[in-house]
Amino acid sequence: MNPKIPVALLGATGTVGQKFIVLLQNHPWFEITELVASPRSAGKTYKEACAWKQDIPIPEYLKEKTVIAAGKELKSRILFSGMDASVAGGLEEIYAEKGHIVISNAKNHRTDPDVPIIIPEVNPDHFEITKNQKYKGAIITNSNCVVMPMAMVLAPLDEEFGIEWVQLTSMQAVSGAGYPGVSSYDIIGNVVPFIGGEEPKVEIEAQKILGSIDGDVIKSADFIVSAQCNRVPVIDGHTENLSIKFKKKPTPQEVKKILKEWKAMPQKQKLPSAPSSPVIVFEEENRPQPARDIWLEGGMAACVGRIRECPIGDIKMVIMGHNTVRGAAGAAILNAEAYVSLGYLD
């Protein structure tokens, strides 16, 4: 793919915007050409406007690039949005109306019936709904960071056995709260059993992702999710306990086999950001663990372990995903790769 496709970052100075910059370094298809942030950052160089919090330095070619005020005209066709939800919704609509393809990490449009929540391994067919949106361009979202690994695990199991309900308890890393995140007095040596607005998102997004197109909207799947979400003193990596009731009861061995063998569109088309194995299944009783497994497949896989029978449902397991990579910026980049690969940018 030559020359590279120019892209812009909305919310470029924030923590998600910074993660986009890290993950887009030397990307074979995309090149960052425009950095967009709030008016208070506009006109400054990126190094002046940004309180950089990543493990690598700011790329040299971006340090002196002038930050553009959000809402101003942009040249890039694809816009990656890492903006805070308090401002993302309206700005994303403005840019979509102007013909841009907005790949959003924000929650604002996930519940819109004509906006898909895309996981390319699960529902690339949902890109089709963007043709019916009211915009000259399009808005595409990725899922909540808790939903991402859950939906990747549920998709092949639902196809094979059918799902009736899922009970989820999450142990979510502090990086999910952004920067500066949770007060040290609140999180060190503690568990906070509430994350504002999180449980409703977890309880509805997976059904939309595993649903189907019905005319001009997406019809959600009919299974039920019950979620309890907790913040724990881990930097990166959301861990989740699942109990699942199926329409056709599988054995733990059948579940393991399906998840180990599952490949989908990103793997078949060898998209640049796609993990070679979208789901990694552990046999060890004490895995997955954020401290040891979070960077497997570059942080783009769902990690699964402790697959066993459940006395209330049918199967229970532990899953984990990298919340700021596959649950945020990495997911949006893979969505853009899938959108381009499937010919929707033409």
149: Cβ–Cβ under 8 A, 6 or more apart, which residues? Answer: 238, 240, 302, 303, 319, 320, 321, 326, 327
The DSSP code sequence of 129-169 is: GGGGSSSSSEEEEPPPTTHHHHHHHHHHHHHHH-EEEEEEE
- Please tell me the distance from the alpha carbon of residue 164 to that of residue 248, in angstroms, as a whole number: 9
- Catalytic one among 50, 145, 229, 303? 145
* Whether 238 is catalytic: yes
* Whether 322 is catalytic: no
What is the C-alpha radius of gyration for the chain, rounded to an integer number of angstroms? 19
Residue 5 burial (CB count, 10 A): 16
Structure tokens at 285: 């009783």
Task: Specify the 3-state DSSP secondary structure of 203.
Answer: helix
- Please tell me the distance from the alpha carbon of residue 175 to that of residue 190, in angstroms, as a whole number: 15
Task: Specify the 3-state DSSP secondary structure of 212.
Answer: strand
Cα–Cα distances in angstroms (integers) from residue 303 to residues 272, 285, 299, in the given order: 20, 13, 10
164: Cβ–Cβ under 8 A, 6 or more apart, which residues? Answer: 223, 224, 245, 246, 247
- Catalytic one among 100, 109, 238, 322? 238
Q: Rounded to an integer, what is the distance from CA 75 to the centroid of its chain? A: 25
Structure tokens at 135: 């915009």
312: Cβ–Cβ under 8 A, 6 or more apart, which residues? Answer: 167, 243, 245
- Please tell me the distance from the alpha carbon of residue 49 to that of residue 121, in angstroms, as a whole number: 36
Q: Pairing relation of β-strands 78-81 and 68-69?
A: unpaired
Task: Specify the 3-state DSSP secondary structure of 101.
Answer: strand
Enumerate the active-site residues.
Answer: 145, 238
